[in-house]
Structure 1
Amino acid sequence: MQLPAALDLSRFPHPPLSTVRLWVTEVLVGVSEDCVDDTVLLVNELVSNVYDHATPPCRVRVSELPEHLGVRVEVDDGEADLLPVLGTSRLGKYRGRGLMLVERVAERWGISRRTWGKTVWAELPFRIVRPVVV
């Protein structure tokens, strides 16, 4: 595992979701498959939201929670005034379920306003077991 890790997506005009999914898998090497899958789902949804509803730049961070008790995902964008709303989308009635997935998968999630935009974050609880090196 290579945490904390950050990925700058500002050079991508369209959401590079396959790149993001691969990156999360690489930084969480050694973590259980279920935990990696849940983290990939959260990052995928949060990055998609930036490209659908906010303004770049987009940056992603994955870090370990204290005491190895999970992972925190953070996705930045440049849109301070337009906050995500659970279960609604300006893109039509068949959209807007991304944050509902985040709500169900994450233990906690929230939004932090910044002077330059906002950070949407989510935390996944699971025990990170580090191999013992002798």
Structure 2
Amino acid sequence: MAKREEVTADPPIVVIDLDTRPPPLAAVRHRIAECLACLPSRQLHAVLLIATELMTNAYEHAWFPCQIRLWRFPQANLVRVEVDDVSPYPPVPGRSRLEETRGHGLRLVEHFATSWGMVRRSIGKTVWAHVSLPE
């Protein structure tokens, strides 16, 4: 996990405000897929998996998420996924407080993301991941 990564001032292409109840993940994935339909299939599926895992982790391990955002940076051949939550605790790959057989979501993020990390905020944190696009 990278220590700190800042975002440019470009507006995100997807912003979904989240509340205390998890939204239908299929609907969130569908909205993201519509906005990123021009991506190659492999990268689109990586973005969808990462967005789902980060959002699910926020619901299961933090108190609740606040927002999910995605950016596409064509000049950098990169997609960035961010999920905010109000928990101050950093994500830990391979560990779950819920069940012994759980805790593998961040391992998937590590595998499919070019890089990922966390930025602390005044209340909570933002967990982010990058997916590289072909040139």
On whether the aligned pair clears a TM of 0.5, the verdict is: yes
- Taking only the aligned residue pairs, the percentage that are identical comes to 41
User: How far did 1:127 drift?
Assistant: 3.0
Task: Point out the structure with max Rg over C-alpha.
Answer: 1
Show the counterpart of 1:28: 36
| Structure 1 moving runs of 4+ over 2 Å | none
Verify: 1:38 aligned to 2:57, yes or no.
no
Q: Quick check: 1:72–1:121 contact (8 Å CA) kept in 2?
A: yes
Rounded to whole Å, the distance in 2 between the matches of 1:96 and 1:30 is 32
Show the counterpart of 1:119: 126
Amino acid aligned to 2:41? E
Show the counterpart of 1:17: 25
Show the counterpart of 1:48: 56
Show the counterpart of 1:63: 71
Rounded to whole Å, the distance in 2 between the matches of 1:56 and 1:44 is 14
Amino acid aligned to 1:65? F
- Measured against aligned partners, the alpha-carbon deviations of 1:36-71 in whole angstroms (never above 9, x if no partner) come to 111000000000001101022421111023614110
| Greater relative CO (CA pairs within 8 A, separation 6+) | 2
State TM-score, norm by structure 2.
Answer: 0.85
Gaps of 5+ in 2: 1-11
- Corresponding residue pairs, total: 125
